[in-house]
Structure formats: structure tokens, C-alpha cells
Amino acid sequence: MNHKLIRYSMQIAMIRQLLALSLITENEFHLIKNKTMRDYGIISDLTS
């Protein structure tokens, strides 16, 4: 489980970086983040 959480965190960090560089829109960020959360079984995002 710990390895899975690290991979999830790395993916979220990468899409945040894409957003910060304006390579994706805010809407695209949320769509990707929500799909990533579903894929990894994350049910809550306390960082929002």
C-alpha cells in the first residue's frame, strides 16, 4: 500500500507542475486528478 501511495503522490505532483507551467488548464487538472484518485483508490483529498 505504501508504494502505491508514493506513486499516487508522484503523479499528483507531476500534474500540479503541468498546471503551474500552464501546460494544462485548471479543469484538465481536476479531471486528471479525479481519475488518478479513482485509479489508486484514494477517496479523500485533504490538500484541496
Predicted confidence at residue 19, as pLDDT, reads 98
Q: Grid coordinates 485548471 are at which residue?
A: 26
| Phi, psi (rounded to 5 degrees) for 26 | -60, -40
Predicted confidence at residue 30, as pLDDT, reads 97
| Phi, psi (rounded to 5 degrees) for 29 | -55, -50
Residue 37's nearest CA partner among 14, 3, 9 is 9
How do residues 9-38 score in pLDDT, each as one tens digit? Answer: 999 999 999 999 999 999 999 999 999 999
Tell me the residue length of the chain: 48
Amino acid sitting at position 18:
L
User: How much is the pTM?
Assistant: 0.84
Residue 30's nearest CA partner among 5, 10, 18, 3 is 18
| Residue 48: pLDDT over 60 | no
